[in-house]
Amino acid sequence: MSKYLPLWPDQASTMAGQVDALFIYVLLVSGIMTALIFIAVTVLAIKYRRVPGRKAQQIEGSTFLEIGWSVLPFFVMITFFIWGAIIYFQERTPPADATEVYVVAKQWMWKIEHMEGQREINELHVPTGQNVKLIMTSQDVIHSFFIPAFRIKQDVLPGRYTTLWFKATVPGRYHLFCAEYCGTMHSGMGGDIVVMEPQDYAKWMAGGPFAPLQDTGKELFASLGCATCHRSDIQGRGPNLQGIYNKPVLLEDGRTVVADENYVRESILNPTAKIVSGYKPVMPTFQGIVSDEQLNALVAYVKSLSQPPVGTAGLQGQPAASAAQPQNTQVQ
């Protein structure tokens, strides 16, 4: 690839090849269509140019042709649609074994928090061969996390989490861009995705004493007084949070919602929005009291309460997939 005139982006994730394959297919079909129309227009325009003594022949039209050139392209488009939807479905469905990384966007920087406690700004280090899920939110306006070499992008919104996942394949340094216009230094809100071999990554990750994110969350959980009501031993004034993550929760108004990251987040910031059945709306809001980083730590802690104890990992089934399974409907 030329340094000065690149024509095709790097492929550095499992998704990149898939998106490129689809793009090349659509490009070929569109290229053929364009060529057919260009050739038809050119040939007809020359062949039927005005010559003295020849008149244009009036043709009414042809229902057969009209239906043909409505239906045939539509079938071709359906192939675009199906293939595109399959890829999109994969892009939007993070694998259950993905390592989680929290991302907080603000004008005009990316703040990254690894579960191990490592923090980075405008850089994200990831190992090859590992599924990585980004849990992202914004402190101010809408941003968009875009890694061209991975062919993925997701808007990052204030007030909620959006997620993005990938599996990097080729070590190297790749562009990270903000793709949603966010003000003055929008074009400066970029950085690097550093993809490393797993052993290099382990070395990088080991470089310092960090408290794991869920431990920070545990401390906050205690210092903010959450633990007085959300008790793990006896029934407190708030629901017991053990094992609730990604499980359906029956609400006071009869609805059922899945206790995903967004639900946990909302319950901290706006506790009365969705009251769990059997509880009273007594929890105060923590809006303006906890920062987005602290929220992430709290969410990570609540999620950690649903993880199998160390040593039995992998034996307890897939937590992310369980939400849809009916046998897991019991939650207090």
Partner 1 sequence: MATKAASPVIPVNQTPKLNYLNNGHGLKSWLLTTDHKRIALLYLVSVSIFFFIGGIFAMLIRLELLTPEGDLLSADNYNKAFTQHGMIMVFFFLIPVVPAVLGNFLVPLMIGAKDLAFPRINLLSWYLYITAGILFLHCMLNGGVDTGWTFYSPFSTEYTNTNIVEAGIAVFIAGFSSIFTGLNFIVTVHRMRAPGMTWDRLPLFIWANYATSLIMILGTPVIAITIVLVAVERLFHLGIFDPRLGGDPLLFQHLFWFYSHPAVYIMILPSMGVISELIACFARKRIFGYKFVAISSMAIAVFGFLVWAHHMFVAGISLYAAMIFSFLSFSVGVPSAVKVFNWTATLYKASITYATPMLYAFGFIGLFTIGGLTGLMLATIGIDVHVTDTYFVVAHFHYVMVGGVLMGYLGGLHFWWPKITGRMYPEGWAKLSALFVFVGFNLTFFPQFILGYLGMPRRYWQYPPEFQVLNVLSTAGASILAVGYLLPMIYLLWSLRYGPIADANPWNAAGLEWKTSSPPPTFNFDETPVVTWEAYNYDEIPEKELEAPVAR
* Contacts with partner 1, 267-306, as mask; x by CB under 8 A: ---x------------------------------------
Determine the Cα angle at 165 with ends 162 and 166, to 5°. 155
Q: Which of 317, 307, 300 is nearest to 101 (CA)?
A: 300
The Cα–Cα gap between 70 and 93 comes to: 34
Identify the residue whose tokens are 């639900």.
263
Residue list 203-262, contact with partner 1 (CB under 8 A)? none
Among 107, 131, 240, 306, binds partner 1 (CB under 8 A): 107
Query: Is the CA virtual torsion 252, 256, 259, 262 positive or negative?
Result: negative
Q: Which is nearer to partner 1, 57 or 330 (CB)?
A: 57
Crossing angle for the helix pair 292-304 and 261-269, nearest 10 degrees? 120
Choose the stretch contacting partner 1; rule: CB under 8 A; options: 38-46, 202-210, 218-226, 249-257: 38-46
Among 51, 234, 310, 315, binds partner 1 (CB under 8 A): 51
Residue list 56-75, contact with partner 1 (CB under 8 A)? 56-62, 65-66, 69-70, 73-74
Per CB under 8 A, does 180 bind partner 1? yes
Per CB under 8 A, does 77 bind partner 1? yes
Per CB under 8 A, does 329 bind partner 1? no
User: Which residues make Cβ contacts (< 8 Å) with residue 164, sequence separation at least 6?
Assistant: 133, 134, 136, 145, 152, 153, 154
Tell which phi-psi region holds residue 116, choosing left (phi > 0), alpha (psi between -120 and 50) or beta: alpha
Q: Which is nearer to partner 1, 111 or 175 (CB)?
A: 175
Q: How far is the CB of 64 from partner 1 (least distance, A)?
A: 11
- CB-based burial of residue 304 (10 Å sphere; 0-12 exposed, 13-18 middle, 19+ buried)? middle
- CB-based burial of residue 310 (10 Å sphere; 0-12 exposed, 13-18 middle, 19+ buried)? exposed
Query: Is the CA virtual torsion 35, 40, 42, 47 positive or negative?
Result: positive
Q: How far is the CB of 275 from partner 1 (least distance, A)?
A: 17
Task: Tell me the C-alpha to C-alpha distance, in Å, between residue 167 and each of 50, 94, 95, 125, 147.
Answer: 61, 10, 10, 12, 12
Among 33, 202, 206, 222, binds partner 1 (CB under 8 A): 33
User: Which residues make Cβ contacts (< 8 Å) with residue 287, sequence separation at least 6?
Assistant: 269, 270
Q: How far is the CB of 113 from partner 1 (least distance, A)?
A: 21
Among 89, 309, 310, 326, binds partner 1 (CB under 8 A): 89
Choose the stretch contacting partner 1; rule: CB under 8 A; options: 45-53, 96-104, 126-134, 247-255: 45-53
Q: How far is the CB of 89 from partner 1 (least distance, A)?
A: 7
* Contacts with partner 1, 133-152, as mask; x by CB under 8 A: -------xxx-x-x-xx-xx
Q: How far is the CB of 314 from partner 1 (least distance, A)?
A: 27
